[in-house]
Amino acid sequence: MKHTRDSEPDRVGLSLKEAISASISRGKLVPGATNDVNSTSMVPTFANPFWKEMVVLSNRSILNLRRMPELFGIRLAAVLVTGFILATVFWQLDNSPKGVQERLGFFAFAMSTTYYTCADALPVFLQERYIFMRETAYNAYRRLSYVISNALVTLPGLILLSFAFSMTTFWAVGLDGGLSGFLFYFLIMFASFWSGSSFVTFLSGVVPHVMLGYTIVVAVLAYFLLFSGFFINRDRIPGYWIWFHYLSLVKYPYEAVLQNEFENPAKCFVRGIQIFDNSPLGAVPPAMKERLLQSLSNTLGMRITSSTCMTTGLDILKQEGITDLSKWNCLLITVAWGFLFRILFYFSLLLGSKNKRS
């Protein structure tokens, strides 16, 4: 039987690539389409099963990444350079009161860096928006397939970025915990990159322009850092702003790495005369500090020497107001934020690109 140019292709055996190509070139509904509005055809709504859409969309995303390897290369370079700078600035921190403050500064900057470096994910969907809306308008594939494949393709890159940053900074800074501490540090870095990438991806489905998206990302991440607990402890945040503290994406990984660092009750950070270091008495001669310590010891009725531990890691956690969640709960919440933003991304696509058939 001779086929004309306008004859319909085999809808049941139609590949996803053919469906996409046809939907763009013809501007018509390919899978399940019919000119008879009263037709009761049993042709499925979508041309291919869910798993096949996932495979094809994932391959297409990987192909796009291979065409522009410099994009990921720049991101990896930014992470490595940032890690190198932090490692050299905070090189081998000691267990003194100043070392504690420097650790807090390092963790706050490191956690915020993981989120800011995710901003490059913003233009990805904005550049694909027109193609996506054209394809999904005619059911070339499911929106859910696009969301999941997009998330899966980003995971290997996030793992590499997390490992590169962790390797660059953990031992160079002199963080505690050994191999197990490093593994948790890597996991929380990966969770941070995951939640940050998901957050930016969600914004890309909501905002219409790249510059507007960048402005929102920078502003919101700054607010997240402000309410993370580094600049002001949770107990000191006004009640009318405390809700933002719990919405902060930076709060949970920041608290997790602090617990990973200071959870050892046997590790001491302030001994004897070091209690004067962060006070006006820090500038007096050591001999005077010894006499002051002896006077304090007599007043309290307890023996305090230059080797007596005054502050442990657990005391530091209490001072920072980190008492309500364990480090593993913080890790799980950070991962959950990533899944939540992927779900919100799906709904933004669902509402923003409804099927336009008539």
Is the residue at 71 inside a domain? yes
pLDDT along the chain (358 residues), means of 10: 44 52 44 42 65 88 84 90 96 91 94 88 80 82 90 94 96 94 97 95 88 90 92 91 94 96 90 80 80 82 81 91 92 97 93 56
**Is residue 249 within 8 Å of 327, Cβ to Cβ?**
no
Q: Phi-psi category of 28—alpha, beta or left, where left has phi over 0 and alpha has psi -120 to 50?
A: beta
Query: pLDDT at position 21, please?
Result: 57
Please choose, from the candidates 337, 20, 351, the residue with its C-alpha nearest in 3D space to the C-alpha of residue 201. 337
Query: pLDDT at position 20, please?
Result: 55
**190 phi, psi to nearest 5 deg:** -65, -45
Query: pLDDT at position 324, please?
Result: 87
Is the residue at 215 inside a domain? yes
Instruction: Determine the length of the chain.
Output: 358
The neighbouring-strand residues paired with 312 are 268
Q: Which domain holds residue 200?
A: 50-269+312-355
Provide the whole-model pTM: 0.83
| Cβ contacts of 309 within 8 Å, gap of 6 or more | 268, 270, 271
Is the residue at 63 inside a domain? yes
The token duo for 307 is 């080797």
Is the residue at 289 inside a domain? no
**298 phi, psi to nearest 5 deg:** -65, -40
Q: What is the pLDDT of residues 63-100, one digit of tens each?
A: 888 888 888 888 899 999 999 999 999 999 999 889 99
Return d(Cα 234, Cα 237) in angstroms, integer: 5
Domain count, the chain: 1
Is the residue at 43 inside a domain? no
Query: pLDDT at position 36, please?
Result: 43
Is the residue at 337 inside a domain? yes
Is the residue at 37 inside a domain? no
Is the residue at 286 inside a domain? no
Q: What number of H helices and E strands is found in the chain?
A: 13, 2
Alpha carbon of 157 to those of 75, 79, 86, 118, 194: distances in Å? 10, 12, 21, 11, 10
The token duo for 143 is 């929106």
| Cβ contacts of 273 within 8 Å, gap of 6 or more | 286, 289, 290, 292, 293, 306
Residue type, 279: S
Query: pLDDT at position 1, please?
Result: 46
- State whether residue 1 is helix, strand or coil: coil
Q: What is the pLDDT of residues 233-242, one digit of tens each?
A: 988 999 999 9
Return d(Cα 219, Cα 203) in angstroms, integer: 13
